[in-house]
Amino acid sequence: MYFTLGLILLFILFILFDEKRRKEKIESFTVSTIGLMSKISKKESAHGYYNCRFYVNNKSFVSKVSYKSKKTILNRFYKVKYDKKNPNNNYPFLDEKIQPDSLTLISQGFKSIKYYEHDIATNTYIEHYKWQ
């Protein structure tokens, strides 16, 4: 019984230590930018995994993010903090949704692309734009 209790206590301490280390790592990220969320898969667990794409010096970086809430985060912009020396070390803040203007998005490396959808009722193609 004491052995089992000791293992449970050790496991709880490990989780708390790991969470503290993760928070310290996130706090060490000094640079922030804008990230665009897109869905990647639901195969790996019961909740979704998303891509968060952001740009540093016109180079694209993608962060895989686990998200448990049913609230939609797709095709929305969020604040992303990253390590200046290695942007692959990053953290998107899903509670900090932002609505940047087009000039800010272009300056951050995003591009607007045009696409068309067919409207069956009018038999015409409707022009749309999205950020990539």
59-105, pLDDT tens digit by residue?
999 888 777 665 677 888 999 999 888 898 898 888 878 888 888 88
Residue 105 contacts by C-beta under 8 Å, 6 or more apart in sequence?
34, 77, 112, 131
Determine the Cα–Cα distance for residues 117 and 29; give it in Å rounded to an integer. Answer: 41
Query: What pLDDT, in 10s, does the model give residues 15-51?
Result: 777 777 877 778 888 888 999 988 766 665 556 678 8
Cβ–Cβ under 8 Å, residues 32 and 81: yes
At 121, is the secondary structure helix, strand, or coil? coil
The residue extents of the domains of the chain are 2-131
Query: Can you say whether residue 95 is alpha, beta or left, with left for phi > 0 and alpha for psi between -120 and 50 degrees?
Result: alpha
Determine the Cα–Cα distance for residues 36 and 3; give it in Å rounded to an integer. Answer: 47
For residue 13, the model assigns a pLDDT of 75
Report the residue count for the chain: 132
Residue with tokens 């022009």: 127
